[in-house]
A and B are shown apart, each in its own frame.
Chain A
Amino acid sequence: MADAAASAPPFAEGGEAVIVADGLTRRFGDFVAVDDLSFAVEAGEILGFLGPNGAGKTTAIRMLIGSLPPTSGTARVAGHDVAVEPYAVRRAIGYMSQLFSLYGDLTVRENLDLFAGLYDLSGERRSGRIRWALANAELEGREEQLTAMLPLGLKQRLALGSAILHEPAVLFLDEPTSGVDPAARRAFWELISDLAAGGTTILVSTHYMEEAEHCHRVALMNRGRLIAIDAPSALKASLERPILEVRTSDPSRAAAILDGLEELEDATMFGRTVHVVVSDEAVARERIAAALEREGVELGEVRRVRPTLEDVFVSLVRKSGGVVAG
């Protein structure tokens, strides 16, 4: 999984990309939720929208599925302009919103029947796809249960099954795994990878940095702007300077002390540790020890770590003079 990009399917040759955003912008009054977003996603690719809450991920997705008109800019999905042919777009896509969006007061089967009806499925295909969705969510035998009573992980799988009953060419997932336990999340991502391998184009947003590792490419977003888009490995490789992980008795004070210290690029809280981007590792180790001792913060282990996407994210945001939103 470290190098998902290597296993990315070859991009479709010649033809137009499946998702094309060109200068997509959305304002709400004075607030710019999405600012001049441009990118393209090829067939069978998984693109991850990565960024904190408020980065504009959901707004961007809502414009791409044609449920929110852009203030300016255009988007084409599966060959259709979302503003001009929203219904053609909707026939070609599946969408799963971040809220649980099935009907809790309907049973599993009633929910699937509803979406089969809405996607105009009939006859053999309808019953076949419903069977598939039940098997996929491991809900066979629980068809008559009210959806509200299912555990969250199963709800999510059922919601995904409903969203792709009609086997859409493009799938939009808005934070599909928020609140789901790690095991269910892993199973969910396996499913996503299988779909992509089968040729489905997938755009998925998340604020879990580690989930982005499953994506062929990641679009880093902050405050409505796209700050970088590349394969996860390439993004991490772009961070040339070493990163030291510092364990202390008081991580938040340590981060404040170390941030802005000479020879150290920046220091950020990272769980219960502090990640410090440095230019010279040996010099930095000395300075960290000295500074923390002076301030009376007990220093634990200091070790060099491989950069994570979060390090890349923080570093890129700082480099552009910005602040991490959310």
Chain B
Amino acid sequence: MTFGRTLAIARKEALQLRRDPRSLTLGFLIPPFLIVFFGYAITFDVDDIRLAVWDADRTQASARLVDAFVASGYFRVVDRLERYPDATEALQSGDALAVLAIPRGYARDLAAGPSPVQLLVDGSDANTATIAIEYAQGIASAHSRRVTLAERDARPTLVPDSRAWYNPSLDSRNMVVPGLVAVIISILAALLTALTIAREWERGTMEQLVSTPVTRLEIVAGKLAPYLAIGLFDVLLAVGIGTLLFDVPFRGSLLLLLAMTSVFLLAALGFGMFLSAALKSQVLATQFAIVATYLPALLLSGFIFAIANMPRVLQLATYLFPARYYVTVTKAIFLKGVGIEVLWPQALLLSALASLAIAATVAVFRKEVA
């Protein structure tokens, strides 16, 4: 492998890229656009839960309980039900996501001891339902504590004090933006390189290339170089957008992020190039790249669903996708500010995937032209 020949390929690839509007759009315009767009659009925060109230007690005590729900900021009262059976209608129509049912005698019972109230939740969206129930329990127990202190003059027994480290406000944007960077770059990386080798076969330029002393590895390395540069540029841009526009903290080392990004990019770009070399068709390679990166990057990377909660088989499958490691890396560097002493397993596995992708590309390539 000589530097001169690799450089000649890299230079040629960069020049072609500069004149190709599709690649320029894909490489320079789409990533920042998607990060800004989804940075605003995607939120896992559940607030503003629509609450219907059936208050059969109609006392000061019951009104205070409803106030406690509203005051939390998570619930908004959208309806007051006349009859208990109306709860079914409210949930079915979707007008309310939860129904708070306070039975007659609530205030009387409260003075004496435990006084049951009911929360009905629309469980068809399990995520939101779970969160709504947690909020309601928190509000109820805080309210219960207040009642106990004020009205029965008793001492509370156990007061939990939880705090969320790294993202104290539990603002989901802090976790979305770093993950989003990883997901978007994963999808675009394979798309960018899926064209490169197939295009040369389709246009007949590969015939000419392979008649020169340039080696397979030099072609692959030279072609990767400009896309690596674009990927690094995109990540720098994303860090800028994340910190300046979305106020996401960046606590780690930028240098470490760039180093890890390079390894990740080699794996992701290498995969696209492998498809290109193996399928020898721009259309096929592009379609394959979308299918093989889009859903895994979104669903198996830990971006949306925690990997620890997945079935064992799926957990094992996640190890195959570079996006999985990179989502961990970006979150860890943005939010936790950790260094290589924590991220070395990711670095190691990403390096392995990168080497595998490049070796496989060179191998399928070699098969076609001696």
- Show the binding face of A for B, using Cβ within 8 Å: 65-69, 82-83, 86-87, 90-91, 93-97, 99-106, 110, 113-120, 122, 159, 162-163, 172
B203 proximity list for chain A (CB < 8 A): 99, 104
Q: Which residue of B lies closest to A99 (CB)?
A: B204
Given the known interface contacts A99-B204, A101-B204, the answer about A93 and B12 at a Cβ–Cβ threshold of 8 Å is no
Given the known interface contacts A90-B212, A105-B16, the answer about A99 and B370 at a Cβ–Cβ threshold of 8 Å is no
CA distance A295 to B7 in the complex (A): 71
- In contact, A67 and B212 (Cβ under 8 angstroms): no
Contacts of B1-30 to chain A: CB distance below 8 A: 2, 4-5, 7-9, 11-12, 15-16, 19-20
Interface flag for B127 (CB, 8 Å) = no
A114 proximity list for chain B (CB < 8 A): 8-9, 11-12
Given the known interface contacts A120-B2, A120-B5, the answer about A113 and B11 at a Cβ–Cβ threshold of 8 Å is yes
Q: Which residue of B lies closest to A90 (CB)?
A: B213
Interface flag for B210 (CB, 8 Å) = yes
By CB atoms of chain A within 10 A, which of B203, B209, B212, B370 has the most?
A: B212
CA distance A75 to B59 in the complex (A): 101
- In contact, B7 and A67 (Cβ under 8 angstroms): no
- In contact, A120 and B369 (Cβ under 8 angstroms): no
- In contact, B15 and A106 (Cβ under 8 angstroms): yes
CA distance A93 to B205 in the complex (A): 17
A163 proximity list for chain B (CB < 8 A): 208, 211
Partner of B4 from the list A91, A117, A159 (CB cut-off 8 Å) is: A117
Q: Quote the shortest CB–CB distance from A269 to chain B (angstroms).
A: 32
Q: Quote the shortest CB–CB distance from A165 to chain B (angstroms).
A: 10
**Hey, what's the 0/1 contact readout for B190-214 against A, CB within 8 Å counting as 1?**
0000000000000111011111111
Partner of A86 from the list B2, B8, B370 (CB cut-off 8 Å) is: B370
Q: Which residue of A lies closest to B2 (CB)?
A: A120
Q: Quote the shortest CB–CB distance from B268 to chain A (angstroms).
A: 25
- In contact, A117 and B5 (Cβ under 8 angstroms): yes
B148 proximity list for chain A (CB < 8 A): none
- In contact, B370 and A87 (Cβ under 8 angstroms): no
B369 proximity list for chain A (CB < 8 A): 67-68
* In the A-B complex, the 4 residue pairs with the closest CB atoms: A117-B8, A99-B204, A95-B211, A101-B208
- In contact, B4 and A105 (Cβ under 8 angstroms): no
Partner of B5 from the list A68, A69, A103, A118 (CB cut-off 8 Å) is: A118
CA distance A163 to B5 in the complex (A): 16
Q: Quote the shortest CB–CB distance from A307 to chain B (angstroms).
A: 36
- In contact, B211 and A65 (Cβ under 8 angstroms): yes
A91 proximity list for chain B (CB < 8 A): 213
* Size of the chain B interface, CB-CB below 8 angstroms: 26
Q: Quote the shortest CB–CB distance from B27 to chain A (angstroms).
A: 16
- In contact, A103 and B370 (Cβ under 8 angstroms): no
Q: Which residue of A lies closest to B215 (CB)?
A: A87
Q: Which residue of A lies closest to B209 (CB)?
A: A118
- In contact, A67 and B12 (Cβ under 8 angstroms): no
Interface pairs (29), CB distance under 8 Å: A65-B211, A67-B210, A67-B369, A68-B370, A69-B370, A86-B370, A87-B215, A94-B211, A95-B208, A96-B208, A97-B204, A99-B203, A100-B204, A101-B205, A102-B208, A103-B12, A104-B203, A105-B19, A113-B8, A113-B11, A114-B8, A116-B8, A117-B11, A118-B9, A118-B209, A118-B212, A119-B212, A120-B5, A122-B4
- In contact, A101 and B207 (Cβ under 8 angstroms): yes
CA distance A293 to B285 in the complex (A): 63
B207 proximity list for chain A (CB < 8 A): 67, 95, 97, 99, 101
CA distance A122 to B15 in the complex (A): 20
- In contact, A105 and B20 (Cβ under 8 angstroms): yes
- In contact, A106 and B12 (Cβ under 8 angstroms): yes
A105 proximity list for chain B (CB < 8 A): 15-16, 19-20
- In contact, A93 and B211 (Cβ under 8 angstroms): yes
B4 proximity list for chain A (CB < 8 A): 117, 120, 122
Contacts of B196-251 to chain A: CB distance below 8 A: 203-205, 207-215
CA distance A65 to B207 in the complex (A): 10
Q: Quote the shortest CB–CB distance from B214 to chain A (angstroms).
A: 5
B7 proximity list for chain A (CB < 8 A): 117
CA distance A114 to B2 in the complex (A): 14
By CB atoms of chain B within 10 A, which of A82, A110, A114, A122 has the most?
A: A114
Q: Which residue of A lies closest to B212 (CB)?
A: A118
Q: Quote the shortest CB–CB distance from A179 to chain B (angstroms).
A: 14
- In contact, B370 and A102 (Cβ under 8 angstroms): no
Q: Quote the shortest CB–CB distance from A90 to chain B (angstroms).
A: 5
Q: Quote the shortest CB–CB distance from B314 to chain A (angstroms).
A: 41
A122 proximity list for chain B (CB < 8 A): 4
A83 proximity list for chain B (CB < 8 A): 370
B213 proximity list for chain A (CB < 8 A): 87, 90-91, 118-120
Q: Quote the shortest CB–CB distance from B15 to chain A (angstroms).
A: 6
B208 proximity list for chain A (CB < 8 A): 95-97, 101-102, 159, 162-163
- In contact, B204 and A66 (Cβ under 8 angstroms): no
B204 proximity list for chain A (CB < 8 A): 97, 99-101
Q: Quote the shortest CB–CB distance from A71 to chain B (angstroms).
A: 12
By CB atoms of chain A within 10 A, which of B4, B208, B210 has the most?
A: B208
Q: Which residue of B lies closest to A93 (CB)?
A: B211
Q: Quote the shortest CB–CB distance from B23 to chain A (angstroms).
A: 11
By CB atoms of chain B within 10 A, which of A83, A102, A106 has the most?
A: A106
Q: Quote the shortest CB–CB distance from A120 to chain B (angstroms).
A: 6
Q: Which residue of A lies closest to B218 (CB)?
A: A118
CA distance A234 to B184 in the complex (A): 68
CA distance A58 to B44 in the complex (A): 60
Additional 10 contacts, C-beta under 8 A, given A66-B370, A115-B212: A87-B215, A90-B213, A97-B204, A100-B204, A114-B11, A114-B12, A117-B8, A118-B212, A120-B2, A120-B5
- In contact, A110 and B211 (Cβ under 8 angstroms): no
CA distance A105 to B370 in the complex (A): 27
CA distance A320 to B5 in the complex (A): 49
